Amino acid sequence: MTELQHRPTALLVMEERRRDDVYPETVLKEIETLVDLREPLTRERLAEDPAALEGVEILLSGWGAPVLDSVLLGHARDLRAVLVAAGSVRPLTTPEFWARELPIVSAAAANAVPVAEFTLAQVLLGLKQVHRISREIRERRAYPPDPRVAGAYRSRVGLLGLGEIGALVASHLRGFDVEVLASDPVVDAATAAGLGVRLVDLDELFGTCAVVSLHAPLLPETEGLVNGELVARMGIGATLINTARGAVVDEPSVIPVLRGRPDLTAILDVTWPEPPEPDSPLYTLPNVVLTPHLAGALGAERARMGELVAQELRRFVLGQPLRHAVAPDRAHLRA
């Protein structure tokens, strides 16, 4: 390793309950070879004592990151970089932060790994219509004589969104004999083709794919985008997967479609509100599978994000280009 001429001062600020998962001892030891690391704080503790940022050159964070507003930034005059072991930087960035033109790193690439793995598993199960056939067996107490399923042979899989996670799912699907379609207004045809994906409109995506998986960020233009009309276009036995944001689905218009189409299956790892209200039909509809953010990084998987931050920290203190810095004009497109 190149000898460091200067050891920057760093501070870790995030929620305490997930801190040891994201920054386990092995990751902290690596970080401490690169910087002088102060005692960690929570967002609440920092709000009580914003002067704790004085002299801090590198801010490390994760879930429960502080909002970098004018008050905190006023005490962070020496701040040179922010590294976040989480997917989105939207919750902590403000116009005042972007005006400082500081580099900010997101661990979205690391968080994308378990989400893409979960999605791939559900896509393959959906192509075999595992959930639907299992429901029918329980209801009829008999096995179907010759189940008719799409399977992973020349079937169509649709992706709504080709961001970090959607692109990784597309990459995984290249190992299977399926055709992958996608809808994403900010991705051009050449980029999609490089991922082995063909861009189509929403009507074709929902109308022709045996499985549609949602990976769009929650923006004003995507809120409620997946409505009952689109879901009603889905073919017999199709599966809808949502690991993105619950509000991307217009649940009030989708629920009646799911109620009237027992052949469809909805795998909802996210909902809106979250969790659903106690009287929500989502709890009782037999063709809805609810999971509580199981797709995202859990337990030991979270250390992958801390490892990414440690690697980026090494590049930063050695003056090397960062690989996971978020461009200001792209930050709003992250989930």
Task: Summarize pLDDT for 11-46 with one digit per residue, the tens.
Answer: 999 999 999 999 999 999 999 999 999 999 999 999
Per-residue pLDDT at 1? 44
| pLDDT per residue as tens digits for the range 179-197 | 999 999 999 999 999 999 9
DSSP assignment letter at 328: T
Is the torsion defined by CA of 214, 156, 256, 283 positive or negative? negative
Cβ of 124: how many Cβ atoms within 10 Å?
18
Catalytic residue set: 245, 274, 293
Structural domains of the chain ordered from first start: 9-102+299-333 (3.40.50.720), 111-290 (3.40.50.720)
The letter for the amino acid at 48 is E
Is there a cis peptide before residue 275, judged by omega within 30 degrees of 0?
A: yes
pTM > 0.85: yes or no: yes
Alpha-carbon torsion (16, 18, 21, 22), positive or negative: negative
| Bridge partner list, 170 | none
Q: Span 133-153, mean pLDDT?
A: 94
Residue 124 pLDDT grade (very low, low, confident, very high; cuts 50, 70, 90) = very high
Handedness of CA 190, 192, 193, 194 (dihedral sign): positive
